[in-house]
Amino acid sequence: MRKLNVLNSLNPGDTPNESNRVVSVPHQFGNNRMSAKKTKEDMEKFAKGKWILPIDIAAISGDIDLVKIILSKMEESNIASSSFCLSIQNDVMLTLELAHAGANVNQKDLKGSTALHRAARSGHKEMVVVLLQVGADVNVKDENDWTPLHEAISQKHLDVCPILVAAGANLSATNNSGKTPKELGIDCGLTLEQVEQSLEIQSR
């Protein structure tokens, strides 16, 4: 994978300022295509006023070697406050590297979703397990009060739900529509038996 020119003169303890603010991004960010070079105005609009650090860009690119180099030059406080490095990443090894370096595994994106929300929504079992192992909050809520369990069951990822339940997912948690995961699962077309089995609920 092509490395991005984000190292520049990064030194330990560097913090964002006008001279080292990153204004270029990889050609693909999540599901949205973006050009390799963006103007500062475009980047500011994209970032919604947040600073974009080299570690964020390296994580988005999925280049684990570049991530390791940048991590070696960063202070833990900067890693922990990095805005995007975990919340958008879907690479297990890269996520482990970032988490072990001190990145905030419960960092929320602009819609309040965490990496665990995203992994549960996509049905990425291995990522769900890894995130839980490194301290992801199983009951964290997004801006619509959805927990990772709401995400998993809404997408009918019945193999992911038991993992979240075993980790302590709150079966009584309600979203902004007042729906528990069980109720949401039925609304999304699952049978009562499927929901109860996935949530390990005994029929009464």
Does 5 map to a domain?
A: no
Helices (H), 11-111: 40-47, 54-61, 64-71, 76-80, 92-100
What is the structure's pLDDT at 135? 94
Phi-psi region of 145 (alpha: psi -120 to 50; beta: other; left: phi over 0): left
What is the structure's pLDDT at 193? 95
* Confidence class for position 2, pLDDT limits 50, 70, 90: very low
Q: Would you say residue 94 has pLDDT above 90?
A: no
Report the first-to-last Cα separation within the chain, whole angstroms.
54
Over range 161-178, report the average pLDDT.
97
Question: How does DSSP classify residue 112?
Answer: S
What domain count does the chain have? Answer: 2
Phi first, then psi, for residue 29 (nearest 5°) are: -125, 105
Q: Which of 55, 82, 104 is the last residue of a domain?
A: 104
Q: Would you say residue 157 has pLDDT above 80?
A: yes
List the domain range (segments joined by +) for residue 73. 15-104
Does 10 map to a domain?
A: no
Supply the CATH number for residue 165's domain. Answer: 1.25.40.20
Cβ atoms of residues 56 and 84 within 8 Å: yes
Over range 9-37, report the average pLDDT.
37
Residue 22 and residue 99 share a domain: yes
Does 198 map to a domain?
A: yes
Cβ atoms of residues 55 and 76 within 8 Å: no
Coil, strand or helix: which one is 73? coil
d(CA 81, CA 78): 5
Residue 110 and residue 99 share a domain: no
**How wide is the angle at C-alpha 101 spanned by C-alphas 91 and 162, nearest 5°?**
50
Q: Which of 89, 104, 119 is the last residue of a domain?
A: 104
State if pTM tops 0.75.
Answer: no
Q: Would you say residue 199 has pLDDT above 90?
A: yes
Cβ atoms of residues 102 and 126 within 8 Å: no
What is the structure's pLDDT at 36? 36
Q: Would you say residue 63 has pLDDT above 70?
A: yes
Over range 84-111, report the average pLDDT.
80
Residue 193 and residue 116 share a domain: yes
What is the structure's pLDDT at 201? 57
